[in-house]
Amino acid sequence: MGGIVEGKRALVVGVANKRSIAWAIARRLDEEGAHVALTFQGERVEKDVRKLAGELGNGPVPVLPLDVMDDAQLDAAVAGAADALGGIDILVHAVAFGKVEDLGGRFMDVSDDGFQLALDISSWSLKRLAVRVEPHMRTAGGGAIVTMSYVAAERAVPGYNVMGIAKSALESIVRYLAWDMGPDNVRVNALSAGPVRTLAARGIPGFGDMVDNAIERSPLRRPIDADEVADAALFLCSDLARAVTGETLHVDAGYHAMAI
């Protein structure tokens, strides 16, 4: 029996290492029959991403360089993935960045440059990728785009600062893209994951406290892991979610629902 995304062609942007949520999603899509292409940013992570690509079992995995701030690389990565896979049905956007000095401390101290950089990379890059995958999804008769958010898009999380603003913008972009791309049967959704112990998360000041707080106050009273986020992404990328678009789906053990 085939998987629930059997034969789908997925471009996964944002894999950095084996602990990243993007990698968990790529692996889950592969397990359920999708043909996956991966991207990497910079030589520092290229070796790790290529090694991970070798662990996927559903056909050769294109591995393409991509800096989401570089128009030429955006064009080349999307075109290269489409050529290698024979099209694109799924886009996973798991890209975020904020300057260390703009995380922690007071939001009032965030720099103008830091604000612009965080929004360009963490939010606007979704729109820039969507513009490029749209023709391929239109040709395919539809598609699914999934991006990664966090509860700080809805509530102030002290210390998260500029990234909270970026996630708010990201969720708004999801809704506008859903409207624009809906007539071509392209669905656009966000996953608002609870704190997951990734390597990138270690750079967030007070991250351990964020995890402990989520465990204490979430209805399920436990942490979540990357595989649980990947399962939710798989659902949104599959035909099981064919009527779901413009949505932010929380995968946080219910933490977002609580007022305490």
Assess whether 176 carries a catalytic annotation: no
* Strand pairing category for 90-93 and 248-251: unpaired
Q: Residue 234: which residues within 8 A CB-CB, separation 6 or more?
A: 4, 5, 25, 28, 29, 32
Angstrom distance (rounded) from CA 120 to CA 158: 22
CB-based contact 224:194 (threshold 8 Å): yes
- Of 150, 207, 235, 255, the active-site residue reads 150
SS3 content of the chain, % helix, strand, coil (to 5): 50, 15, 35
Tokens of 76: 């080349």
- Of 40, 124, 160, 235, the active-site residue reads 160
Assess whether 150 carries a catalytic annotation: yes
Tokens of 157: 């999380």
Angstrom distance (rounded) from CA 156 to CA 142: 36
The set of catalytic residues is 150, 160
